[in-house]
Structure 1
Amino acid sequence: MELEIFEIISHGGDARGFAYEALKAARQNEMKKADELLVKAQEELDLAHNTQTKLIQAELNGEDLKMSLLMVHAQDQLMTAISEKNLIEQMVEMLKIIHSK
């Protein structure tokens, strides 16, 4: 189970990194690059979410998954990455409007 927890943390962190790189690219009016980075961020979130779903299904199937501080941390990292990526997507859209004027 620890491997899956670390996968969630790792993919969530990579997603956040790509999202912030996308924001930086958008500030520099590199919109194609920003869009590509947001796609990469979503791909990382999908990987993390798939791992999370696997753990949830295991628990629903009767496996005893012990809740740990590390698991809580992984969930926190994933939720934060999702929220930040969603917000950055909106910021990139605003920057597209600003740069088009």
Structure 2
Amino acid sequence: MPVDKSSLFESTKALWPTKMDLSRDPDALNKIYRANEAAHSVGDHWRQLAIWAFHQALNVAAAENGASVIFVDAVDATAFDRWMRSNLAHECWADELAEYDS
């Protein structure tokens, strides 16, 4: 069954606060990631992978901008898709990659 990439992106983005103040808590992105990961079933591979990909994209956006405050909108669908594909590139995810690409 094909993955609705837009829906996966939007629903994952909605799990993150609009604004994250890294100057108050430099580990905020990791804490939010861990809370999101724990809130969803380990068996929900798409959600777990999407949360991880969004977390990776947020970290890159924060590092590139040297930002002490990062906004969830710093991650667009293209960056999210790039991280999804990067994570799915491992051979153990071959079936999921085929599904993601369909």
**TM tier relative to shorter chain:** 0.3 to 0.5
- TM-score using structure 2 length: 0.33
Q: Which has the larger radius of gyration?
A: 1
Which has the higher relative contact order, 1 or 2, with Cα contacts under 8 A spaced 6 or more apart?
A: 1
- TM-score using structure 1 length: 0.34
